[in-house]
Amino acid sequence: MLYPTATNWLNAPRKQVMLFGMSGLGKTYLANLLREGGGWFHYSIDYRIGTRYMGEYIADNFKREAMKVPLLRELLLTDSVYISSNITFDNLAPLSTYLGKPGDPAKGGLPFDEYMTRQDQHRAAEIAALADTPHFIARAKALYGYPHFICDTGGSICEVINPYDPDDALMSALRPHVLPVWIKGSDAHTAELIRRFDRAPKPMYYQPEFLHAAWADYQRETGHAPEKIDPDAFVRWTYARALAHRAPRYAAMAQNWGITLSAEEVTRIRTPGDFDTLIAAKLPD
C-alpha cells in the first residue's frame, strides 16, 4: 500500500488517491471539493475516456446522424460546419448517449451486436485511461505544480480488472502510485440509486459475460424478441442486478489494495483537512 500507516499518509508531501465505487455515492463530490480546496489535481477517468479515447467515435456518431439531414449533409461535405461533443467533468452525456441501449430501434435502441461493439470500445478506453494515471500524476506535478492527485474513476472499474486476483496487471501498475479508496453505500443508498436510475435510466458499461446473461434472461422473462425490447425497460431491469454484481467486486478491490469509506462518512467531509483526517483514521497507526 502506498501509505501503509496513518503517519505515512499525514506526513506525505504528495497525497495520491484513487476513488472507486458506484456512481452517485460521492466520488465526484470529493474530487470537486479537493480540487476547489487547492493543491489537488482532479483526473477524471470518464472525462479522459470521452475526450481522448472515444472522442472520435462520439463525434462520428453525431456526424452520421447529421448526414441524414440534407442541409447538414451538404455543409458537412463542404467542411462548412464543425461537429464535436462538449464533454465536461459534470456533463458526460455525449459519452453515455454514444454507448446507447439495446432494443427496439423505434424507441432509440441499438441492435445488440452494435451495442456490444460500443461496449467493447468503452472497455478498451477505460483500461487505457486508467493506465494513464501515473502519467497524469507526473504531469500534474511537473506542468502545473500540484502536490496532490485524485483519480475519480468510473463505476465500471471493477469490471475491467480482476478484483479477486491480487496480482491483477492493471492494479499492479496502479498500486505504487495511488491509494485506492472504496466509497461504500448502504442498503438505503442502493435503494435510492435504483429509484434515481428508474427516473432517468442511462447507458452504462457492463462486463460482457454479465451483459450477455442479462440480455438472455430478460428475453426469457419477458418473451420479447430482441428488436421489440424497450431499451429503457431493459437497462432499468439490469441496473439493480449490476449493483448486486459489483458490490462484492468492489469489496475485493478494497481488501486487496485499499481502504473503505462509507458514503455517510463522505457526506460529512467539508474540507481537504476533513478528508485527510478520515483517510488517516482508516489506516493502521
Q: Is the pTM of this model over 0.85?
A: yes
Q: Residue 160 has what pLDDT?
A: 97
pLDDT at 91 (0 to 100):
86
Of 132, 70, 67, 61, nearest to 98 by C-alpha is: 61
Average pLDDT over residues 31-51: 95
User: Any idea what DSSP says for residue 161?
Assistant: S
- Predicted pLDDT at 150: 97
Confidence of residue 84 (pLDDT cuts 50, 70, 90): confident
Confidence band for 82, pLDDT divided at 50, 70 and 90: confident
User: For residue 12, is pLDDT > 90?
Assistant: yes
pLDDT score of 85: 86
Q: What is the β-pairing status of strands 40-44 and 16-20?
A: unpaired
CB 189 within 8 A of CB 25: yes
Q: Cα–chain-centroid distance for residue 215?
A: 22
Give yes or no for residue 88 having a pLDDT over 90.
no
Going by the DSSP 8-state scheme, the letter that residue 49 receives in this structure is I
Residues 149 and 135: their CA atoms lie apart, in Å, by 12
Give the burial string for 135-162 (b: 16+ CB within 10 Å, else e).
ebbeebbeeeebebbbbbbbbbbbbbbb
CA-to-CA dists, residue 129 to 47, 124, 271, angstroms: 9, 9, 28
- Residues in CB range of 47: below 8 A, 6 or more apart: 87, 88, 89, 92
- How far is it, in rounded angstroms, from Cα 244 to Cα 214? 13
Question: How far apart are the C-alpha atoms of 242 and 246, rounded to whole Å?
Answer: 6
The distance from CA 202 to its chain's CA centroid, rounded to whole angstroms, is 13
pLDDT tens figures, 184-233:
999 999 999 999 999 989 999 999 999 999 999 999 999 999 999 999 99
> What pLDDT digit, counting tens, does each position of 106-159 carry?
999 999 999 999 999 999 999 999 999 999 999 999 999 999 999 999 999 999
Other CB atoms within 10 Å distance of the CB of residue 114: 12
Run of H or E including 43: strand 40-44
